[in-house]
């Protein structure tokens, strides 16, 4: 497992080349990485017993791989190993309100990844991947946690896709109205969408009052 970045752009394939609004496509690894790192969740799609299956889940990235995890008892995850999988992550940045219903849109950033799902079987590599997941969620959290047990590792499946076949698609800016519509007496513009975090709420089962750790305050004060 390497976290070294690859400086070369991702070569589009028949599955990842953006054909509709192709000007919004981006195949630079830096863009793909940034969107995957910022998106809070993703959706996985694959065939299960000949029928399409969709699973929303959390993801995280290490170098040129995108990871997800779940229960080792999951029938879906067991069958996903070695299967062709599509992963999509999207961030909604705003609603675009035009002068016509046809030209309404949204501002967004998205990444789609295709590939063969791989399973992490080595316990040390699995533990390192789970540490990366926790540190992606809340940097500085892992060192203060109870150590992962062998039973917990066995009960957890960790899978990944290489970022060899991936593309990003983005939209930003205001409405693109027909020129004749711009003279109409109709309000048009954008409504930004933001993610905001609330104040941390302590677990009432704590045996004694404990101050909210600095790493938690710093992470969620950014929202």
SS (H, E, C) the chain: CCCCCCCCCCCCCCCCCCCCCHHHEECCHHHHHHHHHHCCCEEEEEEECCEEEEEEECCEEECCEEEEEEECCCHHHHHHCCCEEEEEEEEEEEEEECCCHHHCEEEEEEEEEEEECEECCCHHHHHHHHHHHHHHHCCCCHHHCCCCCHHHHHCEEEEEEECCCEEEEEECCCCCCCHHHHHCCCCCEEEECCCCCCCCCCCCCCCCCCCCCHHHHHHHCCC
Domains of the chain: 22-194 (2.30.110.10)
Is a pLDDT exceeding 90 seen at residue 144?
A: yes
Name which residue leads in pLDDT, 5 or 125.
Answer: 125
Question: Which stretch of 6-10, 39-43, 64-68, 176-180 has the lowest confidence by average pLDDT?
Answer: 6-10
Predicted confidence (pLDDT) per residue in 94-112, tens digit? 999 999 999 999 999 999 9
Please report, rounded to a whole number, the percentage of residues in the chain having pLDDT higher than 90: 73
> pLDDT band for position 3 (50/70/90)?
low
């Amino acid at each position: 497992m390497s976290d070294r970045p690859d400086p070369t752009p991702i070569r589009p394939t028949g599955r990842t080349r953006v054909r509709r609004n192709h000007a919004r496509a981006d195949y630079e690894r830096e863009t793909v990485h940034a969107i995957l790192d910022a998106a809070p969740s993703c959706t996985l799609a694959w065939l299960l017993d000949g029928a399409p299956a969709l699973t929303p889940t959390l993801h995280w990235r290490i170098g040129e791989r995108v990871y997800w995890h779940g229960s080792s008892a999951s029938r879906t995850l067991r069958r996903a190993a070695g299967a062709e999988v599509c992963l999509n992550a999207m961030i909604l940045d705003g609603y675009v309100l035009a002068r016509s219903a046809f030209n309404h849109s949204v501002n967004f950033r998205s990444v789609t990844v295709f590939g063969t799902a791989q399973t992490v079987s080595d316990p040390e590599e699995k533990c390192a991947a789970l540490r990366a997941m926790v540190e992606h969620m809340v940097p500085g959290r892992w060192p203060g946690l109870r150590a992962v047990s062998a039973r917990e590792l066995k009960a957890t499946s960790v899978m990944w896709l290489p970022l060899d076949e991936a593309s990003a698609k983005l939209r930003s800016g205001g409405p693109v109205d027909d020129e004749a519509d711009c003279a109409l007496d109709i309000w048009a513009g954008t409504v930004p969408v933001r993610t905001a975090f609330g104040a941390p709420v302590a677990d009432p089962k704590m045996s004694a009052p404990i101050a909210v750790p600095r790493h938690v305050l710093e992470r969620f004060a950014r929202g």
